[in-house]
Amino acid sequence: MQKVIGIAANQIIHSVDVFHGNHVSYTPQGFVTAVQQAGGLPLVLPIDSPEAAKAYIAKIDKLLLAGGQDISPDLYGEAPHPKLQETNRNRDEFELALIKEAIKQNKPIFAVCRGMQLINVALGGTLYQDLSLYSNWEIKHTQEPTLPQFATHEVNVQQDSLLYPLLGEQAQVNSYHHQAVHKLAESLKISAVSSDGLIEGIESIDPEQRILGVQWHPELRFDVEPKEFGLFDYFVNSL
């Protein structure tokens, strides 16, 4: 039986040239293809009201949270910093509801970039609204103009983590973030860190609460790096 993987969608609401002014619900193709190649059945979940989250989660076996906009800082008790970028309150509130309902229904969650950060916020953690607020920032975490299939920095993986059997002690990853986990939620533990100490991977302390998050973008290089595909294979078939 194929596992149904719900992929929380983003939304384009201000594109005139490409979509002729239409609003578009979407997810990056890499998530869809990677889930399919791992044997899963991807189902894109459009942004909806938080009240609808229970029904969406009931329809899927596992939840995947993608990257995208910054997270509204009032959700973790802060005013917006001058370097805060675009936010989408509707997306924040819907995905927070999806996370809470997935935990309630005991559905596994795999989260990428913003998705990892949002799990931390959902469980009581905080974020650096911009990396300039992190005093030990030493490496480039937004790799443009380097293409995403090329890894640009190293992460160190904890031996007692879910990531260790998949990635080993160290891994090279791509990087596209200007925000990062600051205070880690008490129910989470660190799975991986960058060489300058930023949290690059998280998981639940409770093994029965099946949560895995990474700060980088495996959906953009799973087709050139088997270890990145291994993350999707593990999520779809084992987590």
Which of 80, 73, 85 has its CA nearest to residue 176?
85
Q: Which of 113, 141, 153, 203 is catalytic?
A: 113
Active-site residue flag, 23: no
Which of 108, 110, 126 has its CA nearest to residue 72?
126
As a 3-state breakdown, the chain gives helix, strand, coil percent values, each rounded to 5, of 30, 25, 45
Active-site residue flag, 113: yes
Q: Which of 141, 217, 225, 228 is catalytic?
A: 217
Contact between 22 and 6 under an 8 Å Cβ cutoff? The reply is no
- The per-residue DSSP string of 117-181 comes to HHHHHHTT--EESSGGG-TT--S-SB-TTS-TTS--EEEEEPTTSSSHHHH-SEEEE--B-S-EE
Q: Is 6 exposed, middle or buried (0-12, 13-18, 19+ CB in 10 A)?
A: buried
- Helix/strand/coil for 25: strand
Single-letter amino acid, residue 220: L
Cα angle 68, 119, 70 (rounded to 5 degrees) comes to 30
Q: Which of 95, 101, 203, 219 is catalytic?
A: 219
- Count of positions (residues) in the chain: 239
Contact between 156 and 139 under an 8 Å Cβ cutoff? The reply is no
Active-site residue flag, 95: no
Active site residues: 113, 217, 219
